[in-house]
Structure 1
Amino acid sequence: MSLTDEKFECFKIDIQDKIAHIILNRPEKMNSLPISFWSDLPRIINEIDHDALARVIVISSTGKHFSAGMDLSVFSDAENARNEENPKTDPGRKKGSFYKGLLKLQETFNCIDNSRIPVLMAIQGGCIGGAVDFASASDMRYCTEDAFFCIQEINIGMTADVGTFPRLPHLLPMGLVKELAFTGRRMFSNEAKDCGLVNNVFPNYDDMMKEVMKIAKEISKKSPLAIWGSKEAINYTRGRTIEEGLNQIAMWQAGMYNPQVDMKEALGAQIEKKDPEFEDLYPIKKGFGLL
């Protein structure tokens, strides 16, 4: 069964013209993120990436709000599991298990960083709690005028723990991140645009989706190998020196760059005044048959 034919609790998938559109589709639940989300998202993105099904991913949602964050069922299921435990359970082993479980949860959004292809996110209404972790992992963000962002965790007595704090300081000034984290206030679309959290703001959902798909289409026409190399180089610079970044891109060029392939195609297309036709990335082989 193809990915687009599968039935997911949270998602609808559409792949056309080298663009994969992942749609959060629980509007009646404000697109909150239940347990299935945390395993389905990496599976979907990894399959699109590993099988080279698209060159760009767009993530959006249905309904009034992008996402209300972690579904309350995730917390209640965890609490029920704790209540059912043997009271003689060793605290060290119990906490160690929780630690490894949280690391597994954090891996959900790492798939976006690790994907070879760009991930664009279109946000309307509320982007709350775990949805901020989600959004901060994407490569580019766009929103509607009615959008707002809220680190909701502080308002329910906890610390955001699945990606907001490692990623948001690379997108916003540190003092602003701390203000949002300590107060739990809402950052509205105009402020999000001014500080660079989103690339652009649109009057409504339809205008936003039209423009985001236009950008995705433009990206899909570029060399997918050059796009992958650019994403790798940009992400690599986080927490590293300029010298380290230069060395990384030099190694990439030495290993993956071939002027007789994509550059030749790009320059030839310019001379002939036509769109270049680049080869797709190859699927990532599994197991030991890598060659």
Structure 2
Amino acid sequence: MEDLKTLKVEFDEPSGVVQLILNRPSQRNALDDHFFTEFPRLLSALDENPSVRIVILKSSGNHFCSGIDLSVLSSVVGSQGEDQGRVREKLRRNIKRMQAAFSAVEECRKPVIAAVHGACIGAAVDLITACDIRYCSQDAFFSVKEVDLAITADLGTLQRLPRLVGDGNAWDLALTGRRIDALEAKQMGLVQKVYSTKSDMDENVGKIARDIASKSPLAVIGTKTVLMNSRDLSVAKGLDYVATWNAATLSSTDVNEVFTAQVEKRKPMFSKL
């Protein structure tokens, strides 16, 4: 594994569960420029690793993430002395690069579960809305903070949040920048479950991840792929897509293994991808 400046990886190879940890606790895990290089590269490597079946995204320290490090904002804007056409073109490329870092979560075939504690602010909301499932501890709080910084959120929240919490709630959060607690986040549908403490969340999310990881990897990545693609398709086109997917994968030995394991009264064992 490469020398990482902003992330830490813990891999339980027998289960196939990877914990991908934001690891700048002294900066409340603010996302600096190194993150936007390391994160998509690491996710791609985990995606390609046949032993990896699922990823848990979590953080060290007291908070999940306080958003983008201000050093990133100052570096992407550029100098007023430069040709402004070139400055703006460079800025657009930088925004697209950072967008791609978060979209890498959706492009990863393996499911990514967000486990949030403490602050989840600004770009951190962009990050978790790209994840497949979200859980939090009771001390978690969330804020789409960009409007208070005179910025239009541009890394995915405005596109993904309405799908999770509905248009009205998304407009409310994005226009006011107000903080919501874990209970309100659960009521809105931003997170699937709230746990009393971080340790309780870590234990239970680990169990959920191991359970998913124990299932057929072809079925798991197929489910994620079909769900992702079906968001932008009509029901008829979505059904056609999944028919094509299953036509390619139902001949897998995983299907036979499920039935054999049921007859033999044991847990099924699946090959790596």
AA at the equivalent of 2:212: I
Is residue 251 from structure 1 mapped to residue 251 from structure 2 by the alignment? no
Displacement after TM superposition at 1:111 (Å): 1.0
Partner residue, 1:156: 149
Q: Offset at 1:263?
A: 0.8
Question: For the residues of structure 2 that align with 1:199 and 1:179, how far apart are their CA atoms?
Answer: 20
**Contact 2:20 2:58 (8 Å CA) reproduced:** yes
Task: Specify which of 210, 221, 224 is matched with residue 203 of structure 2.
Answer: 210
Query: Any unmatched runs of 5+ in structure 2?
Result: none
Structure-to-structure mapping, 1:242-281, within 5 angstroms:
242-258=235-251, 261-281=253-273
Is the partner of 2:3 in helix, strand or coil? coil
Q: Percent identity?
A: 37
Question: 1:62-81, aligned counterparts within 5 Å?
Answer: 62-79=60-77, 81=78
Amino acid at match of 2:43: I
What do you get for the CA RMSD once the two structures are aligned? Answer: 1.3
Aligned length: 271
SS across alignment from 1:58: strand
> Which residue identity lines up with residue 268 of structure 1 in the other structure?
T
Aligned to 1:230: 223
Q: Is the 8 A contact 1:202 1:208 kept in 2?
A: yes
Equivalent pair of 1:19/1:58 in contact (CA under 8 Å): yes
| TM-score of the superposed pair, with normalisation by structure 1 | 0.90
Mapped to 2, the partners of 1:107 and 1:230 lie a distance apart of: 22
d(CA) in 2 for partners of 1:164 and 1:147?
18
Q: Does residue 7 of the first structure (1) align with residue 12 of the second (2)?
A: no
SS in 2 for 1:171: helix
CA distance in 1, matches of 2:85, 2:73: 21
One-letter amino acid matched to 2:3: K
Q: Does the Cα contact within 8 Å between 2:76 and 2:91 map onto a contact in 1?
A: no
The one-character-per-residue Cα deviations of 1:217-258 (angstroms, maximum 9, x if unpaired) are 001110000101100111111132101110110110112221
C-alpha deviation, 1:61, in angstroms: 0.4
Q: Is the 8 A contact 2:169 2:188 kept in 1?
A: no
Cα deviation digits, residues 7-65 of structure 1 (max 9, x gap): 31111101113111111111111110000000100111100111324100001101111
TM-score by length of 2: 0.96
- 2:28 is aligned to 30
Secondary structure of 1:233's aligned partner: helix
For 1:142 and 1:192, the matched residues in 2 are separated by: 10
> What does the per-residue CA deviation read over 1:94-139, in whole Å, with 9 as the maximum and x for residues that have no partner?
3223222211210001111111110011000110000000000000
Q: Where do 1:107-118 residues align within 5 Å?
A: 107-118=100-111
Q: Does 1:123 align with 2:127?
A: no
Q: Residue in 2 aligned with 1:82?
A: 79
1:184-221: per-residue Cα shift (whole Å, max 9, x none)? 00121101111211111011110000000000000111
Determine which of 169, 173, 176 is the counterpart of 1:183.
176
Residues in 2 aligned to 1:82 and 1:280: alpha-carbon distance in whole angstroms: 50
- Which structure 1 residue ranges, 4+ long, deviate > 4 Å from structure 2? none
The amino acid across from 1:137 in the alignment is A
Matched, 1:145 2:138: yes
In 2: Cα distance, 1:97 partner to 1:77 partner? 11
In 2, Cα distance between equivalents of 1:111 and 1:257? 27
